[in-house]
Amino acid sequence: MALRMILRLWLTLLGLALAQPGVAEPRDALAEALALPVASNLTGADDAPRFAWVENEAGVRNIWTAMRGQPARRVTASTQDDGQQLYDLAFSNDGASLAYVAGGDEEYPDEEDLPNTGIAPMTPPQQVFVVPADGGAPVMVGQGHSPTFSPDGARLAFTRRGEIWLWVRGGEARWIARVSGTIDRFTWSPDGTQLLFSEDRDEHSYVAVLDSDGQRLRYLDPGLGQSVEPIFSPDGGQIAFIRYMSPPAAAAPDSGPYWSIRVVDIATGAARTLWSAPPGQGGRYAGTRSRNLFWSRDGLILFPWERTGWLHVFALDATRGGEPRALTGGDYEVETFVVDRDQLLYAANADDIDRRRIWRRPLRDGAPVRLGGSEGMHFFPTIAGGEVAAIETGVSTPAHPVLLGARATPLAEVPTASGFSAPEAVVFRAADGMEIRAQFFSARGTGPRPALVYIHGGPRRQMLLGFHPSGYYSKAYVMNQHLATLGYHVLVVNYRGGTGYGQAFRDAPDTGREGASEYRDILAAGRWLAARNDVDPARIGVWGGSWGGYLGALALARDSDLFASGVDLHGVHSMLRPVANTLSPEAQERARQLQWESSPLGAIERWRSPVLLIHGDDDRNVDFAQSLLLARELAARRIPYRELVFPNERHSFFRHDSWLRALRATEDFLDLTLMRRQPLP
């Protein structure tokens, strides 16, 4: 922390020294807010109260560690916005060593073509490092990802494109096995003799166990479907996992069953179904944003289930099975959960549907208790040696780590944005009666103002009443605050298909390429703004990225009379995709036609409003060709557009400079087309 404060002071003094005498340098509020450090990848040691996290400050990524009562310590020494991700943090059980991955793509770790967003002469490798948590130089142990320490901390296993590698302290990593698919949920057995993982082979996956010497590999209870979330029993003698399949096209909501919990005896290979989800509500598998299966020391198996229409945590007796017992319940969703000995910790929107808090409750009997006090939102409960930590955000504070008790205690210096105001929670209805929640950022200034609808991506996301824990949406929140200071009203829409409001809202009918029903919510948002006395209805625009780019493009194509301008970051413009071969040829043709009608290109003849297209050409989530396709169609019809392209960039831009340039271009484009209502030159 002291080093960071010294660096900031030095930069401030340098800026003063370079400034012209007698001339005040204008404050760059957007750049300042975007440069604030954002924490992620919080992890803890099993047997020591030590935590670690990644901090991204203006694109400079470093790993920090901390314990209660001690100053945070930086254990890496990056100094550049080079676009190289840090992720997969893993402590040894005693907290003395920390493994991590540098390079590659956390979302797509097994790619052949690694990202080179910094445009280096040679593509940086994806490497596994080990560093002493108390300080010292990191040691590169091999190329790969998903490092995991053996229980005694003497060995480290990691994987690379189906290969499994083992590193022993004092030696070199060696290759011990190879499988056909990609490896997930890599875990050591309690006695350190076996490695457990799931192997994804696209249309199906298996649970596998490998002897730690590489001599024997076994697939446990292989079946038709996806076998995921494998866990050892506390004694290491059994394995539990979730098996599910995707329902066929046009399946009835109450069809099934589609998922179950299986238990396998490792010694004999004997498998049994502990429990199977009944048809109806919750009959289709839905997981949280973290691990989804835990086996407690006293013989309970915990898992998420949507039996009530909301995602909650349930418990089963690991021996008898029987009827699952709800550990959480109500009209809210559990976003993540963990088990700490005989306690359940979970993050949910229980007391405020547009915020997140963390609760703790006994696994057996007892009421939940909220941790962290009333200030801030809390995400990703993390355990280390009996201590509980989380990621906290607020109206003015981006993601940072805190210890949780009755109150929240920061583990490091808390970054704070200057001049931010709390958005207002609003509710309106779409034309079909669907209730939609949103956040309203009120413009600075007087008189009727221009206004914007911001549309998040996903679509499985929920925007919140403060900073988002995601780096991508943290930047969107900064931009919406900034746009309000520039004089725009901004309405941030949590449209149907998103998370946070229950299964019926998330799985609303006819969304996406099946009819784009979520666009009704965007249209209703635009009309809600147009009806306000403080909004100029001729100056309403739209901006968003990914699925938000898709819906923004759909708004400009279908309703240019309402949406006068827009910014489309890496959006989807043609929804045409292969359809299920279980449909008849006639049904397949109808499905293809519906995909086209759900596409922005399906309404391109009605598109008149100007648009800014922003895309990185190494995007692995939305093909760069989607923007190429749209640009050609716009040019053919003389629809005005501008473009900003980032060579080698990924979907969620890896480099801070790319984000700053993209949002600067957004600001300039909206100023020209909405604030000043000028035609594009």
Q: Which pLDDT does position 514 carry in this prediction? A: 96
How confident is the model at residue 447, as a pLDDT? 85
Check if the beta carbon of residue 227 is closer than 8 Å to that of residue 559.
no
What's the CATH class of domain 424-675? alpha beta
According to DSSP, the β-strands at 611-616 and 641-646 are parallel
Within a 10 A sphere around the Cβ of 660, how many other Cβ atoms?
Answer: 20
d(CA 425, CA 418): 21
Average pLDDT (281-297) is 96
pLDDT band at 252 (very low <50, low <70, confident <90, very high): confident
The percent of residues above 90 in pLDDT, for the chain, comes to 92
Looking at residue 18, what is its pLDDT? 37
Please tell me whether residue 605 adopts helix, strand or coil conformation: helix
Dist. CA 288–CA 353, nearest whole Å: 16
Tokens of 113: 């073509």
Segment 455-470 mean pLDDT: 97
pTM for this model (two decimals): 0.95
Side-chain-side CA neighbours of 353 within 13 Å: the count stands at: 17
Q: Place 328 in a pLDDT band, splitting at 50, 70 and 90.
A: very high
Provide mean pLDDT across the span 110-133.
Answer: 96
**Which residues touch 601 (CB under 8 Å, ≥6 apart)?**
557, 573, 574, 629, 630, 633
- Predicted local distance difference test score (pLDDT) of residue 25: 58
Residue 21's Cβ-count burial label (10 Å; 0-12, 13-18, 19+) is exposed
Q: Which two tokens stand for residue 333?
A: 């969703």
| Nearest alpha-carbon partner for 302 in 249, 231, 213, 196 | 231
Q: How confident is the model over 625-652, as pLDDT tens digits?
A: 999 999 999 999 999 999 999 999 999 9
pLDDT of residue 3: 44
Residue with tokens 């279980």: 582
Percent of the chain clearing pLDDT 70 (strictly above): 96
Model confidence at 22, pLDDT cuts 50, 70, 90, reads: low
Sheet hosting strand 343-348, strand order edge to edge: 334-340, 343-348, 357-362, 369-371
- Chain-wide mean pLDDT for the chain? 95
HSE at residue 204, side-chain half, CA atoms within 13 A, is 7
Query: Maximum CA pair distance of the chain?
Result: 82
- Report d(CA 399, CA 477) in Å as an integer: 12
Tell whether the model's pLDDT for residue 528 goes beyond 50: yes
Closest CA to 349 of 393, 379, 385, 387: 379
Q: Enumerate the domain spans of the chain.
A: 1-163+387-417, 424-675
First-to-final CA distance of the chain: 48
User: Token digits for 557?
Assistant: 């194509």
Q: Are 386 and 343 in contact (CB under 8 A)?
A: no
Tell me if 430 sits within 8 A of 524, measured CB to CB. Answer: yes
- 526 contacts: CB under 8 Å, gap ≥ 6: 453, 540, 542, 555, 559, 562, 563
Which strand ranges, in their side-by-side order, compose the sheet holding 155-160?
145-149, 155-160, 163-168, 174-178
Is the per-residue pLDDT at 27 higher than 90? no
SS3 content of the chain, % helix, strand, coil (to 5): 20, 35, 45
CA distances from 589 to 121, 532, 597, 655 (A): 47, 43, 12, 42
What's the token pair of residue 404? 């949780």
Distance, in Å, from the CA atom of 639 to the CA atom of 650, rounded to the nearest integer, reads 27
pLDDT band at 238 (very low <50, low <70, confident <90, very high): very high
What per-residue confidence (pLDDT) applies to 178? 97
pLDDT at site 4: 53
Residue 75 · residue 97 · CB < 8 Å: no
User: 194-200 and 97-102: which strand pairing?
Assistant: unpaired
What is the rounded CA–CA span in Å between residue 281 and residue 292?
A: 18
CA distances from 78 to 42, 49, 62, 86 (A): 18, 26, 6, 10
Q: Which among 206, 217, 213, 214 is positioned nearest to 183, based on CA atoms?
A: 206
- Beta strands (DSSP E) in 9-85 are 38-44, 50-57, 60-67, 73-74
381 is written with which tokens? 């409960």
